[in-house]
Amino acid sequence: MTTGQMEAGQHKNASNKTFSGLQRKETLEAMAQQQFDVIVIGGGITGAGIALDAQSRGLRTALIEMQDFASGTSSRSTKLVHGGLRYLKQLDVKVVAEVGKERAIVYENGPHVTTPEWMLLPFYKGGTFGKLSTSLGLRVYDFLAGVKRSERRKMFSPDVTLQHEPLLKKKDLRGGGYYVEYRTDDARLTIEVMKKAVELGAMAVNYAKVEELIVKDGTLVGVRVVDQLAGGTVGKDSSDPSASYALYASKIVNAAGPWVDTLREMDHSKQGKTLHLTKGVHLVFDQSRFPLGQAIYFDTPDGRMVFAIPRDGKTYVGTTDTNYKGDIANPRITMADRAYVLRAANEMFPSLGLMEADVESSWTGLRPLIHQEGKDPSEISRRDEIFISGSGLISMAGGKLTGYRKMAESVVNQIAAMLVAEGKVSAELPPSRTKTLPISGGDVGGSAQLAPFLRSRVSQGLRLGLTEPETMLLAQRYGSNVDTVFALLEQYRDEAARRGMPAAVLAALVYAIEREMVVKPADFFIRRTGALFFDIAWARQWKAAATAFLAERFRWSEAQTAAYTAELDQLLHEAVHPLEA
Ligand SMILES: Cc1cc2nc3c(=O)[nH]c(=O)nc-3n(C[C@H](O)[C@H](O)[C@H](O)COP(=O)(O)OP(=O)(O)OC[C@H]3O[C@@H](n4cnc5c(N)ncnc54)[C@H](O)[C@@H]3O)c2cc1C
């Protein structure tokens, strides 16, 4: 038993295992009543992974997120759980080997959020890759990444390459390499990992910002957290003292992604290696305008590599990689970013003649990389590192979505060793068990059982009056949790009709509020459904009805409702209107 567990026993009960938006305040209050083993600052994939690893080893864990979960970089990536072929180009063999093996684990534990996708890498006369280097590179990649036999690379002639993707530029085409990447939904992956941590007893809250580190005798013992939604304010810090909470733990982890250095500044420990933020944008097109049938990884005119990926009736293309110094919370796409991606796409798919007006949506993210002197953005290593400050702040910097589980395992190994050495745990903690631990929604019996699982749920959905595509969408999004969504669908059928909403939309919204801590329209339309990126028309269609429902559930004032409506409208606007500079 840990010190945290012993002390918590004297206070109010530990975790209530709730992850409901309606219980946020109660959860924060309960958090302030106990001593934790670990507090994680940051609710992106890094923080969620650490919370899951720590809690699943029996450490009493809390996680604090100042915005919505995954609203930092973890909803703004290329959405690939990948083996990191690009790192082979940088000869970062260790990263290729590690993330390649890791993706198989990520897939097994959550096959509903991760899908294997064959990727075509065309090569041209004078391009970055030739036939030999592609063939050799992909073979080395298969070997390093431990790729399973059925997914090992194939090499295509120019004709076969074009059969796979007729939209490709034909001039000077010399052939193509064919290999497997894994497509994911980064934000949903983050949420599912977090839900699993909460299911096991971790406590997690969004819109709660760590504004101060609490230090005693030179050692970090806690954090002061301010509820960002308190007092009816919308996204502002509240001066209401009842909105401020002191949380205590033996170890504090800084998993703040692009804000890692901001926390290190708060700790007066930002020295030595620092973060280097680079910006990446993606553009989304409708399939009617960009009917890509096959995911492509291709050269840009300036010698970089970008992806074009078909998904849910859309095609997305990206990414850029440029140094960034602006507002971390709200990086915006510029006209230059848009022009860059359009030019790259038009160069590789010349028959399309894509224009600005064809861009249906976009997103912009910041890579929290570790600075390397004299390197260009695309050359900086994506490796992760752990920094431990004099006060004991444990910062996790760099890394990839793909490596989240392994990163979490190594940081929690260090935490466990420190807790043992400090006598704060009575015995050795068990080793990490996340390698074989399904994340929330992943209880489908492993990847091999996903197809039969989906088939069985389709028949159930049809019985509930849904179409096959509607059911597939829900079953793939929620995995084994879809049964709860189906139950809500029955429960809310009449109310949905009264509100003029499809029952499936209302059921997903209620699920998001009660089981995924949604508190704002933007949480639902961006992080829980991805609609702002991949079905912006759906977001526009249902935003008023969804906001009205949220307003009633959360008893918002007119001013609050107006503010949250405006916030979503602004984000819908920004997705299609780049900044000039
Ligand atoms: C354009 C782009 C493409 C990418 N593509 C891929 C890819 O295809 N595959 C891949 O594996 N990786 C990819 N990555 C990398 C990957 O997305 C990131 O490594 C990962 O998402 C980082 O997650 P994180 O949790 O460390 O950071 P974040 O997701 O940013 O999470 C940090 C969180 O900390 C919170 N926070 C900060 N300060 C505080 C505070 N004071 N109090 C409370 N909370 C706080 C923030 O609000 C934020 O939500 C890509 C990155 C970019 C930018």
Structure confidence by residue, pLDDT tens digits, 288-312: 999 999 999 999 989 889 999 999 9
Mean pLDDT of the chain: 91
CA distances from 450 to 108, 306, 433, 438, 460 (A): 10, 30, 22, 13, 15
Q: Strand pairing partners for 295?
A: 119
Ordered by where they begin, the domains of the chain are 3-10+21-73+188-269+382-436 (3.50.50.60), 110-183 (3.30.9.10), 275-370 (3.30.9.10), 447-576 (1.10.8.870)
- Number of CB atoms found within 10 A of residue 461's CB: 25
Would the pLDDT of 417 be above 70? yes
Of 408, 384, 429, 511, nearest in space to 106 by CA: 408
Would the pLDDT of 109 be above 60? yes
Q: Which atom of ligand 1 is nearest to the CA of 225?
A: 42
Give kind and range of the element (H or E) at residue 2: none
Give kind and range of the element (H or E) at residue 289: none
Residues with CB under 6 A from ligand 1: 41-47, 64-67, 71-74, 76-80, 82, 209-210, 255-259, 280, 319, 365-368, 399-402
CA angle (314, 316, 318) in 5-degree steps? 175
Q: Which residues contact 448 (CB under 8 A, 6 or more apart)?
A: none
Give kind and range of the element (H or E) at residue 483: helix 482-491
Q: Which atom of ligand 1 is nearest to the CA of 266?
A: 41
Do residues 308 and 117 make contact, with C-beta atoms less than 8 angstroms apart?
Answer: no
- The string of pLDDT tens digits covering residues 227-280 is 999 865 444 444 666 789 999 999 999 999 999 999 999 999 998 889 999 999
Among 401, 404, 411, 526, the mutation site with the greatest number of ligand 1 atoms within 8 A of its Cβ is 401
For 8, list phi and psi in degrees, rounded to 5: -65, -30
DSSP labels for 501-513? --HHHHHHHHHHH
163-182 mean pLDDT: 95
Among 77, 211, 261, the mutation site with the greatest number of ligand 1 atoms within 8 A of its Cβ is 77
**249 CA to centre of ligand 1 in angstroms:** 24
For 321, list phi and psi in degrees, rounded to 5: -155, 95
More confident residue, 131 or 360: 360
Strand-strand pairing, 61-64 and 203-205: parallel
Would the pLDDT of 3 be above 70? no
Q: In the prediction, which pLDDT does 145 show?
A: 78
**396 CA to centre of ligand 1 in angstroms:** 11
Do residues 83 and 140 make contact, with C-beta atoms less than 8 angstroms apart?
Answer: no
More confident residue, 362 or 580: 362
**503 CA to centre of ligand 1 in angstroms:** 33
Look at ligand 1, atom 41, and give the residue with the nearest C-alpha. Answer: 210
Q: In the prediction, which pLDDT does 16 show?
A: 59
Rounded-to-integer distance, Cα 384 and Cα 407, Å: 7
Rounded-to-integer distance, Cα 413 and Cα 431, Å: 8
Q: In the prediction, which pLDDT does 91 show?
A: 66
- The string of pLDDT tens digits covering residues 30-54 is 999 999 999 999 999 999 999 999 9
Q: In the prediction, which pLDDT does 271 show?
A: 87
Q: How confident is the model at residue 205 (pLDDT cuts 50, 70, 90)?
A: very high
Rounded-to-integer distance, Cα 315 and Cα 284, Å: 6
Tokens encoding 440: 């929330």
**535 CA to centre of ligand 1 in angstroms:** 23
DSSP labels for 375-418? --GGGS---EEEEE-TT--EEEEE--STTHHHHHHHHHHHHHHH
Q: Strand pairing partners for 219?
A: 216
Among 74, 103, 282, the mutation site with the greatest number of ligand 1 atoms within 8 A of its Cβ is 74
Q: Which atom of ligand 1 is nearest to the CA of 364?
A: 1
